[in-house]
Amino acid sequence: MKVKKTQLEELKSLKEFTQRQFLENKNEYLSVTEKEQQDELLKLTTGLRYEQFFFIVNVSDFSIVYAKGLEEIGYHSETFDMIQYVQAIPSSGILQLMSLMWRKIFEFNIEAKTLLSFLKPKFIVQLPFKNSQGELMLVKRTISPFQFTDDGKLLQYLSEFTVIKKGFNNEAPEPRFTDIPLELVDKYNTFINRAFIWENSPFSPKEMIILQAYASDKDSKSLEEFAKVTDVTTSTLKFYNKEIINKAKDYFGEYYTFGTAKEVAAFLNRCGVLN
């Protein structure tokens, strides 16, 4: 089983990953003008509504260089940093999953090159998030390119947040793109699926087979039928089911409650890793 990282360990890992990418090429040309950036910041700042906030992140060192609206949830925009951000996400498992997606998006952008434009494409997820008082809420986070090089390397991104509701009830991230060709979305989903299965999953290969069988079930098969499909005995399948539930609770944390392995499979499917 993979060792679950803490929020701060995951942030350190992300910093190391991006720093390695930026060492490869020092001769880079910026694609977004300062005027375009300032005009957009003015729109964002003047257009902020109740329970909305945003910040700009420098990718090379994962520092927040500009933020507004965080007072809505009890933080200070002038001092809010990435450490506070990752600590506000209560599930280290969800953070690891989001980090995996980030790494693949970064690699994906380099490969696609012509994909990026100012504020496009947008990558949207919903996340559990704590305000400064430790109260849990569900937020929608939208990430879009804010600065990048002419060869497709992302330098800054805009992260916008809207509070969906107070409290949290097992909602999955449900990641999705806007402003991207369908064929590239399919390719990206394949990247994520393979990366989760082989690089980041807390589940064993056999458990992943069982989870995928549950996720693709259209006929509400019985336990005995699933045992045949996954080539195990019913008693062994019961054992795997318990292991899957325990691992999911440990990986995603106390705020996520799973009663059955099928619920875990449905959740992972909505995370985009069993598609």
Domains in the chain and their CATH numbers? 7-179 (3.30.450.20), 201-271 (1.10.10)
**H/E run at residue 51:** none
d(CA 191, CA 252): 21
Tokens of 216: 């693709």
SS3 209: helix
The answer for residues whose C-beta is within 8 angstroms of residue 82's C-beta and 6 or more apart is 11, 57, 62, 63, 64
Our CA angle for 70, 76, 77, nearest 5°, is 60
- The end-to-end CA distance of the chain, in Å, is 22
Q: In this structure, what token pair is assigned to residue 83? A: 């450490």
CB atoms within 10 A of CB 61: 12
Give the neighbor-by-neighbor strand order of the sheet with 52-58.
63-68, 52-58, 154-166, 136-148, 122-130, 176-178
Tokens for 152? 């497709």
Digit-by-digit pLDDT tens for the chain (275 residues) are: 444 578 888 888 888 878 777 655 555 689 999 999 999 999 999 999 999 999 999 988 889 999 999 999 999 999 999 999 999 999 888 888 888 777 777 776 666 555 788 998 888 999 999 999 999 999 999 999 999 888 778 899 999 999 999 999 989 998 888 887 777 777 777 766 776 676 678 999 999 999 999 999 988 899 999 999 999 999 999 999 999 999 999 989 888 999 999 999 999 998 888 86
Class of residue 235 by CB neighbours under 10 A (exposed 0-12, middle 13-18, buried 19+): exposed
